[in-house]
Amino acid sequence: MTDYDTLKVAMKSGKVAEVKRLVDVFLSEGASAKDILNIGLLDAMNEVGQRFKKNEVFVPEVLVAARAMKAGTELLKPHLIKAGVQAVATAIMGTVKGDLHDIGKNLVIMMLEGAGFQVIDAGVDVTPEKFVDLAKQHNAKVIGLSALLTTTMPSMKAAVETIRAAGIPAKVIIGGAPVTQAYCDSIGADGYSPDAASAADLARSLVA
């Protein structure tokens, strides 16, 4: 029998082909897709996230682990659908209007996916109206806003105001290098986190 530790090690070191091979072996041995996802892939991704938070690993390590997780998840998808396994919730994630930085946003997306969310990537330079439209369309429970420029922080405020005015019940979380908890409080967002792993923890706690 294959063991989950072997799968976790392969995932944490970003070995895409090995992760795919092990997922196939687990499936052929009769393991449930839900266990492979939760005990193997999500646990490993969570560990990478926690180590990233403590500066024990850095962006490249997170990116390779996330790529391996994606490859494993793709193989599990049809089995998860058949077994009726649902995502924790849907989250919309985008960089706010006027801002084209997307590396941090993409990391947050990976961590959210690692935490079991279905994530709709709204992209960069996202208008408040687009956040509202996507949240309605996908019945989102979380909307994540990223900004890297002091000049685009006001776009976060505009997004929060537009989302509230439209009556969208989703929790709005914000982050990005210039963003602070004080700014979050001042614009009435539901939460701030300084890094991608904490963003996933925050999102999970807000929908719990």
Contact by Cβ (8 Å): 65, 9: no
Residue 15 vs 53, nearer CB to ligand B1M: 53
CB of 145 to ligand B1M, least distance (A): 6
Alpha-carbon gap, residue 41 to 32, rounded angstroms: 13
CB of 139 to ligand B1M, least distance (A): 19
CB of 4 to ligand B1M, least distance (A): 27
Residue 41 vs 147, nearer CB to ligand B1M: 147
Residue 18 vs 99, nearer CB to ligand B1M: 99
Q: Which residues within the stretch 128-147 sit at the binding site for ligand B1M (CB under 6 A)?
A: 144-146
CB of 110 to ligand B1M, least distance (A): 10
Characterise 55 by phi-psi region: left (phi > 0), alpha (psi -120 to 50), beta (else).
left
Alpha-carbon gap, residue 172 to 96, rounded angstroms: 13
Stretch of residues binding ligand B1M (CB under 6 A), selected from 6-14, 65-73, 99-107, 128-136: 99-107
Contact by Cβ (8 Å): 167, 149: no
Number of residues forming the site for ligand B1M (CB under 6 A): 28
H or E element that contains 185:
helix 181-187
**Following DSSP, what letter does each residue of 109-162 receive, concatenated?**
HHHHHHTT-EEEEEEEEE-HHHHHHHHHHHT-SEEEEE---GGGHHHHHHHHHH
Stretch of residues binding ligand B1M (CB under 6 A), selected from 4-12, 42-50, 157-165, 172-180: 172-180
Interface residues with ligand B1M (CB under 6 A) are: 59, 98-105, 107-108, 144-146, 148-151, 173-178, 193, 195-196, 199
